[in-house]
Amino acid sequence: MPEPVPETVPVELVIEDGRWRELNIEIRANLACRTTLETLGIDPARCEIALLACDDVRISELNRDFRRKPQPTNVLSWPAEDLAADQDGAAPLPPLGEGGDFPIALGDIAIAYDTTMREAAEMGIPAKDHLTHLLIHGCLHLLGYDHVSEKDAALMEQLEVTILAKLGIADPY
């Protein structure tokens, strides 16, 4: 039986690697991002996120082009606006958008199938749970959360654990 589609679907998905369909990536992405936004008090119906579901070759190219790191990674994010807090460990600014009926474009996320599956196997956790965690992680990056400093990392990890718990997924840390 297919999983139910979330009421609000903030994610526009491009699937470059068909293997993602096995994990119901569209449903999982919308659920992860919707739950993340709702947890932070942001209306998912007013938000847009673009998600590229690709493989290691494609994400290596993106990582090289945008971060000068020519190797695969699990997830990359490109926020539409800089919402980062001025103080370490403080919550970022909320996305404003243009108000009214216009959606708030939060940014873009890319996720690599090969790295995601390899990491899940290495950690001994279900691939769907790791995928959900990475999608939440990417969404939080779009919202200005980061893990550069210890305080920022602690805040981001605590939010990830809280959101994962709402989805019935165990603490990955």
pTM: 0.92
Structure tokens at 133: 């965690």
Q: Going by C-beta distance under 8 Å and a sequence separation of 6 or more, which residues neighbour residue 72?
A: 56, 57, 59, 60, 63, 112, 114, 115
What is the homologous superfamily of the domain 11-166 according to CATH?
A: Metalloproteases ("zincins"), catalytic domain (3.40.390.30)
Indicate the angle between helix axes 113-123 and 127-142, nearest 10 degrees. 120
Q: Please tell me the distance from the alpha carbon of residue 107 to that of residue 45, in angstroms, as a whole number.
A: 15
Strand pairing report for 75-79 and 104-112: antiparallel
Domain ranges of the chain: 11-166
Predicted confidence (pLDDT) per residue in 108-139, tens digit: 999 999 999 999 999 999 999 999 999 999 99
Q: Please tell me the distance from the alpha carbon of residue 167 to that of residue 52, in angstroms, as a whole number.
A: 22
Q: Please tell me the distance from the alpha carbon of residue 127 to that of residue 135, in angstroms, as a whole number.
A: 12
Rg value, the chain, Cα: 15
Predicted confidence (pLDDT) per residue in 141-158, tens digit: 999 999 989 999 999 999
Predicted confidence (pLDDT) per residue in 50-103, tens digit: 999 999 999 999 999 999 999 999 999 999 999 999 899 999 988 876 555 568
